[in-house]
Structure 1
Amino acid sequence: MPPATRRSPARRAPVVRKPLADRREDLVEAALRVLVRDGVAAATTRAIVAEAGASLSAFHYCFDSREELLVLAAERITDRTVDHVREGFSADGDLRTVVVGALTALWERLEADPHRELIGYELSHHARHRPELRPAVARLFRHYLDVHEQFLADGAAAAGFTWTTPVPVLARLINSTLDGLALTWLVDRDGEAAREVIGALADALLAAARPA
């Protein structure tokens, strides 16, 4: 009998290892998609890594906890909204034009995609029954306030004004008004009334402004 032909072993495809920063980015974006599509309760670690096409070991290599990842995803939503709003700061106009335009742009983003823009509220509600989430949600809301403070500073600089009321106080006024307005709108969907409130908020802010 002829000697058996020896087959060479099949070559395995090379394993492509992504840099840590790229893998973290994949997981943040995957978490964001799961949060928006399925909600906080469904955004488990396994669901997120499956969405990212990653492994659990990759997740634990990139992040200390699921809570850390969820907050990073929620912050990403806020930062993208602010980048969109900040585009209006370069437009010509007085302080009222800048403030009303920016607040209206914020509101229009929420109306267009409430599931995305209200992730922070859902995380806050979820944290009532999950104590391990509370520090992360507190960090998220601190981020919201920081964003509003920066908005006030940028708006005043763009229009040549200063604020007579401390900026942290005005930031909380913006945050509290938008929170209450958003929750009311979710029930009545009265966009016209919401815009009237936006105008009243702008008037309150402008009352605390004076030329630099």
Structure 2
Amino acid sequence: MAAATTRRIAAEAEAPLASLHYCFRSKDELLQEVYYYLSRDYAQALPPVPASDAGLESVVLAHARRVWERMLAEPHEQVTTFELLLRRFRVDAEEEPKALAMNRSMYEGWVRSTSDLFEAAATNAGEEVPTNLELAARLFISGIDGISMQHLADPDPKRSAALVDMLARSVSGAFVYAQDSAKTS
């Protein structure tokens, strides 16, 4: 990340340096746009999930698989994500709060889009919306991150696919519902 100068970025993109500077005033501004893409636009680039009334468990599994297929097709996006998230440890103390805020913003985008997808799946199927939906979305994202890191370090497509399916089943099994909470109170 430190070696990613605007000159090198322009060369890699096969774009004139002047064009890069016309679009972005600094490397930080360019990185901010990459953060935005990874948190805002990434979900829109995924293939659609099953029918809106397929149910929450079905959508969790379909979403896990489509995110995983994207990771396999575009592993550089996941590597870039990890690099950007770790950037906060490579900047000086005065820049760290900004880098931390960018990380928080990226995760908030992922949590929000995942929670919205899961909530819509439950609602559209006439199912109860879990009370711990945000935590379950965070668990889902953490699991995808972990499986991605493991796969990038030691690729095993069969094992990784099994882990993705196991993650989806685990997240679905971790949902807490108001009716369940009332029974244990």
Q: Per the shorter chain, which TM-score range?
A: 0.7 to 0.9
Match of 2:36 among 75, 83, 87: 75
Give the equivalent residue in structure 1 for 2:151.
185
Q: Does 1:94 align with 2:55?
A: yes
Residues 185, 194 of structure 1: 8 Å contact kept = yes
- Flag structure 2 segments of 5+ consecutive residues without an equivalent: 179-185
Q: Greater RCO between the two (CA within 8 Å, min separation 6)?
A: 2
Residues 88, 100 of structure 2: 8 Å contact kept = yes
Give the equivalent residue in structure 2 for 1:165.
132
Q: CA deviation at 1:91?
A: 5.2
Alpha-carbon distance in 2 for matches of 1:177, 1:138:
22
The 5-angstrom pairing of residues 40-189 of structure 1 reads 40-49=1-10, 51-55=14-18, 59=21, 63=24, 65-85=26-46, 87-88=48-49, 90=51, 92-131=53-92, 132=95, 135-136=98-99, 138-160=101-123, 161=127, 162-167=129-134, 169-189=135-155
Alpha-carbon distance in 2 for matches of 1:141, 1:118:
18
In 2 relative to 1, CA 134–178 (structure 1 residues): closer, same or farther, beyond 3 Å? Answer: farther
Alpha-carbon distance in 2 for matches of 1:134, 1:101:
36
The 5-angstrom pairing of residues 4-15 of structure 1 reads none
Give the number of aligned pairs.
170
Give the equivalent residue in structure 2 for 1:196.
162
- Quote the RMSD (CA, aligned, Å): 3.0
Q: CA deviation at 1:189?
A: 0.8
In 2 relative to 1, CA 146–86 (structure 1 residues): closer, same or farther, beyond 3 Å? Answer: farther
Q: Which has the larger radius of gyration?
A: 1
Residues 63, 69 of structure 1: 8 Å contact kept = yes
Given the two structures, how large is their TM-score scaled by the length of structure 2? 0.73
Given the two structures, how large is their TM-score scaled by the length of structure 1? 0.65
Q: CA deviation at 1:88?
A: 1.3
Q: CA deviation at 1:78?
A: 4.3
In 2 relative to 1, CA 73–146 (structure 1 residues): closer, same or farther, beyond 3 Å? Answer: closer
- Flag structure 1 segments of 5+ consecutive residues without an equivalent: 1-39
